[in-house]
Amino acid sequence: MTDLSVLNYVTPGGVSCRLVAGGGTVAMRHHNVHLHQPWGLLDELDQRRSAVPWASDEECDAALSWLASAPAIEEPTRARLVVHVRSTPVYDWGTAGAGAR
């Protein structure tokens, strides 16, 4: 049996790729600390990429908490990031897809 908890890789921007049933993979966001890295939240916003779903509600809430007090983020950028994080779906392990918050 395949261990479905295997993590294939994590990008510098906090996006992981996990194995799922059937041997496929799914991308999900785990954190936002590395905002300026490839696949980071700012990159996602600036490049107008589709939002990568959060791995869990807890991960999303932690990101919002971090953004509320993160140093060295200008207020207009912080506001854009908060709106983006709140509007990004969370991966729903029950349906193997991203669901709205």
- Considering the domain boundaries, does residue 101 fall inside one? no
Total domains present in the chain: 1
Expressed as residue numbers, the domain containing 44 is: 7-92
Q: Mind listing the pLDDT tens digit for each residue in 30-42?
A: 876 667 777 788 8
Banded pLDDT at 87 (limits 50, 70, 90): very high
Give the length of the chain.
101
- Considering the domain boundaries, does residue 100 fall inside one? no
- Considering the domain boundaries, does residue 97 fall inside one? no
Contact of 31 with 59, CB cutoff 8 Å:
yes
Examine the pLDDT at 50 and tell me if it is beyond 60: yes
Contact of 70 with 78, CB cutoff 8 Å:
yes
- Considering the domain boundaries, does residue 99 fall inside one? no
Tell me what pLDDT residue 86 has. Answer: 94
- Considering the domain boundaries, does residue 18 fall inside one? yes
- Considering the domain boundaries, does residue 30 fall inside one? yes
More confident residue, 6 or 31: 31
- Does this model's pTM top 0.85? My answer is no
Taking the C-alpha atoms of residue 14 and residue 29, their distance in angstroms, rounded to an integer, is: 6
Q: How far is CA 100 from CA 34, 38, 86, 90, 93, in A?
A: 24, 24, 10, 6, 13
Taking the C-alpha atoms of residue 64 and residue 2, their distance in angstroms, rounded to an integer, is: 34
